[in-house]
Amino acid sequence: MVSKAFFTGSKYLVEDSDGRHDFVRYDGERFLAVLSTAGQKILRTPLDADERKADYLKALVRLNEAYFAAREFEADAKGNFFKHDDAAERKFRFDVAQRFSDRVDDLRTFLAAHDALVAAATEDSSNDSRDTADDGETTGDQALARTRRTLSACTDRSISEGWFPTVQSHYYALSPGELVAEGRERRKQRIEGTESSTGIAALLDKPHFEKLSWRDLRRIRDLNRESPGPDPRVWKRLQKEYTWFLARERMRATPE
């Protein structure tokens, strides 16, 4: 577990940026700013659910670690075409496929932690349901609505600005970073494969790996649409730009 300072809002947190996203530093550690803010809000949420809050924070740590690992992997991959080393290219594609699959697991773990907190908020509201406010709603209903808004906002931003940038970093790693046109062609080959080589899309279809399901995409869509603030439309970008990362058997019912 990383330092609690990221979740308590310590005055010793130092703001920084990697050129794409802001993060904060503390005692040699780095944490994406959006995830740090989400953790602070979750801790302040008036819920008697310490264990479930802890699970949510652990999921945030997992998202954070994945992001910085992805950026390091992306930097290391630059310039590596492996044109004449089939074994190295196969290993690279397998490694990237594994990373995409791991992001599916990260997402589902995070959403499960979110759902557990929503369930805790619902339980709390039922205990307050006998008191009625001036507008006719029970105080429990009002508290539940406030808590759900907070949870949805935290989870939505964490996915849109924490989880999805990690997926993007894996995608960027597929381009060796040489000439633009050549890099795009190499990335396309790595995803789709050729007659003589298996692509990442085909690897992700194997039982060992996971692709995003219809339910995953729908959950992201609902959070994007229902959370306070503008819709980041991450679900739409996944649908349009990462079709090979989506399970085929579910695509007949892709959300609109």
Please give the Cα distance from 79 to 175 (Å, whole number).
Answer: 8
Which of the pair, 60 or 136, is modelled with greater confidence? 60
User: Could you tell me the pTM of the whole model?
Assistant: 0.91
The model's pLDDT over 35-78, given as tens digits with 9 standing for 90+, comes to 999 999 999 999 999 999 999 999 999 999 999 999 999 999 98
Instruction: Compute CA distances 161 → 13, 114, 165, 208, whole Å.
Output: 19, 16, 6, 28
Instruction: Kindly report, residue by residue over 234-254, the tens digit of the pLDDT.
Output: 999 999 999 999 997 544 445
The pLDDT value recorded for residue 78 is: 87
255 pLDDT above the threshold of 60: no
DSSP-assigned states of every residue in 57-103: HHHHHHHHHHHHHHHHHHHHHTT---TT-HHHHHHHHHHHHHHHHHH
CA distance 133 to 175: 58
pLDDT score for 228 = 85
Q: What is the residue-wise DSSP string for 172-230?
A: HTTS-SSSHHHHHHHHHHHHH-BTTB--HHHHHTSTTS--B-HHHHHHHHHHHHHSSS-
What pLDDT sits at residue 1?
Answer: 64
28: pLDDT strictly greater than 90: yes
Q: What is the mean pLDDT of the chain?
A: 90
Mean pLDDT, range 176-200, rounded to an integer: 85
What is the distance between the alpha carbons of residues 47 and 125, in angstroms, rounded to a whole number? 10
Q: Which helix (H) or strand (E) is 111 found in, with range?
A: helix 86-127
**Greater pLDDT, 116 or 227:** 116
The pLDDT > 90 percentage for the chain reads 73
- The band of 127, judged by pLDDT with boundaries at 50, 70 and 90, is low
**CA distances for 44 relative to 8, 59, 76, angstroms:** 9, 17, 39
Residue 136 binned pLDDT confidence (cut-offs 50, 70, 90): low
- Listed by start position, the domains of the chain span 50-253
Write down the pLDDT at residue 161.
97
In angstroms, the Cα distances linking 74 to 95, 97, 112, 168 are 12, 14, 28, 10
What pLDDT does 4 receive? 93
The 10 Å Cβ neighbour count of residue 135 is: 7
Paired strand residues for 16: 23
Count of C-beta atoms within a 10 Å radius of residue 126: 13
